[in-house]
Amino acid sequence: MDHNALAQEMRGLREQVTGITDTAVAAADGLLIAADTADSIDREGLAAVAAAGLGLARRTTDLASRGALRRTVTYGSRGCAACYAVGDTALMVVLGDEGLDVERLHTATQPALDRIEAILTAKNPESEKTPEGV
Amino acid sequence: MSGTEQDGWGSSGRAGCDLLAAELAACEREEFTGRVRVAGTPGGTLHLRGGLVVAVESPGSPGPEALLLRSGRVSDEQWAELVREAGGSPWPAAGLIAREYAGAAQLRVVCLMAMRDAVFAIVAGQLDDCERDAEAEPAAPSPYGESPWRLLQDADRRLAAVETLACPVSPDRERTVAAPGAEWTEGLTALRRELLAHADGRRSARDLAFLTGRGVYAVTVEVARMLGEGLLERVEEPPPIPLSPAAARHGVGQRLRALPLLGPEPDAEERAADPEPPAAEEPAADADDLPRRSPGASGINESVNSQDSQAS
């Protein structure tokens, strides 16, 4: 996996959409892959809960015959958390404050999700292990 | 009307103001009722009635609700109750006054401040386009309309004021971090202490304004002054985004390919609900093993259970 490319996608999304405060990418089973989050955020916990939430939402849409799950958005009084599936094996969590334009976020996220999926599943053994931060 | 990514900030001048000014001047002349959507970063929406601006919303500045909630004037619970009482209205002005959380005059001032702040944020950012649209009711309209010209003049004055500071800073682009030892400086105001606590190198003045429940203009000015005094430092390179230790240890691509395809599969939910205590160490895995998150490793269940037991 090209860690630099993943970091650039996460950072680029935050710079592109005003109001994004944090992003994280995790495996579908809740294993955190990378996080661009404030220190106050429990990254591992966020990844685990996001995976669980996305799984529940997927089952809900399935049981309710609502087609394919597109995303989940959880709203709080001080912002929201949006979870997107990245292909079939990963997910991305985006946290935003009250100013975040959620529709704009969805529009900006779609192409980024495709690119992130390609980065995560790229067959490049040389760049599989890149422990340094970018 | 359209423009080509005009930037209200920096050496390019205040061309953003000009772009918006022409559109709003026409709106005032025609006594337009509706909204003007400004595409850009952060962009925003101006709501007009009879050519006067009654509300402005922008992702670049806190709105009246955020100002009231983040400043602590109204708690989250109180707000939720007011909204319920108001039948779901996003701006329960009557309830705020009746419960004496704020006076009518104070609310008008909050709305006006938020409106001016939003115009400042819009013109300080990148303007791509302006277009009129059918009316959509704003969340928190001001009872009195404001002249678009006066609003833009105010935003222009504010932009000029920030640019004349020793260390001018863009509201939503540049990020700052507290200088080493700055928190021990004597005589810090409450706002400065808050800004130092939150300036982590990832946040812009706009982000800090939302966090502290203050206007983005006021925070931008304060950040610029603190930069000048050496209390804050500009961050040229954002902090790195590290791979998680488990992902770095195992590699990601091959393991993701080995994961079962997502479906109505309960694995992740079971993990989040697992009452097991957190694992002290990620188990050493063979290079061919699929890295799996240890159930309960985040400690989220302990946190949730603890809150539940406290609540009961």
pLDDT band at A116 (very low <50, low <70, confident <90, very high): very high
pLDDT band at A131 (very low <50, low <70, confident <90, very high): very low
- Which are the contacts of B84, defined by CB distance < 8 A and separation ≥ 6? none
End-to-end CA distance of chain B: 59
Partner A contacted by B267 (CB < 8 A): yes
Residues 281-300 of B with CB under 8 A from A: 291-293, 297-300
Higher pLDDT, B247 or A100: A100
- Write down the mean pLDDT value for chain B: 82
Task: HSE, CB side, 13 Å, CA atoms: give it for residue B25.
Answer: 8
Q: Which residue on chain A is closest to B200 by alpha carbon?
A: A38
On whether residue A82 sits in a domain, the answer given is yes
Task: Choose the closest CB to B292 out of A29, A43, A98.
Answer: A29
pLDDT, residue B2, reads 39
Least confident of A121-125, B65-69, B217-221: A121-125
Helix (H) or strand (E) segment spanning residue B2:
strand B2-7
On whether residue A128 sits in a domain, the answer given is no
On whether residue A26 sits in a domain, the answer given is yes
A118 burial type by CB count under 10 A (0-12 exposed, 13-18 middle, 19+ buried): middle
pLDDT, residue B262, reads 56
Q: Which residue on chain A is closest to B253 by alpha carbon?
A: A121
pLDDT band at B60 (very low <50, low <70, confident <90, very high): very high
Instruction: Tell me which residue range forms the domain holding A58.
Output: 3-123
Tokens standing for residue B100: 């004496």
Residue B177 has pLDDT above 60, yes or no: yes
On whether residue A131 sits in a domain, the answer given is no
Radius of gyration, CA atoms only, chain B: 24
On whether residue A109 sits in a domain, the answer given is yes
Contacts of B206 in chain A (CB under 8 A): 18, 99
To the nearest whole Å, the CA of A103 is away from the closest chain B CA by: 12
Q: What is the CATH number of the domain that holds A88?
A: 3.30.450.30
pLDDT, residue B81, reads 95
Tokens standing for residue B143: 């009872």
On whether residue A130 sits in a domain, the answer given is no
Least confident of B47-51, B187-191, B298-302: B298-302
pLDDT, residue B115, reads 96
Residue A105 has pLDDT above 50, yes or no: yes
Span B107-117, pLDDT tens digits: 999 999 999 99
Residue B77 has pLDDT above 60, yes or no: yes
Contacts of A27 in chain B (CB under 8 A): 252, 255-256, 259, 291, 293
On whether residue A132 sits in a domain, the answer given is no
The total domain count for chain A is 1
Q: Hey, of B37, B252, B265, B301, which one would you mutate to test binding to chain A, going by the most A CBs within 10 A of its CB?
A: B252
Residue A119 has pLDDT above 60, yes or no: yes
Count A/B contacts: CB-CB distance under 8 Å: 193
Task: Choose the closest CB to B262 out of A32, A45, A58.
Answer: A58
Task: Choose the closest CB to B271 out of A32, A34, A48.
Answer: A48
CB contact under 8 A, A28 and B259: yes
Rounded distance between C-alpha atoms, residue B132 and residue B130, angstroms: 7
Task: Choose the closest CB to B253 out of A35, A47, A123.
Answer: A123
Residue B286 has pLDDT above 80, yes or no: no
pLDDT, residue B245, reads 86
CB contact under 8 A, A130 and B65: no
To the nearest whole Å, the CA of A104 is away from the closest chain B CA by: 10
pTM above threshold 0.90: no
Sort strands A20-27 and A90-96 into parallel, antiparallel or unpaired.
Answer: antiparallel
Contacts of A21 in chain B (CB under 8 A): 207
CB contact under 8 A, A42 and B298: yes
Span B205-216, pLDDT tens digits: 999 999 999 999
pLDDT band at B287 (very low <50, low <70, confident <90, very high): very low
Q: Omega into B242 within 30° of 0, i.e. cis?
A: no
Residue B269 has pLDDT above 70, yes or no: no
Residue B292 has pLDDT above 80, yes or no: no
Task: Read off the amino acid at residue B132.
Answer: R
pLDDT, residue B14, reads 59
pLDDT band at B294 (very low <50, low <70, confident <90, very high): low
CB contact under 8 A, A120 and B297: no
Residue B80 has pLDDT above 90, yes or no: yes
Q: What is the mean pLDDT of residues B294-311?
A: 54
pLDDT band at A122 (very low <50, low <70, confident <90, very high): confident
On whether residue A70 sits in a domain, the answer given is yes
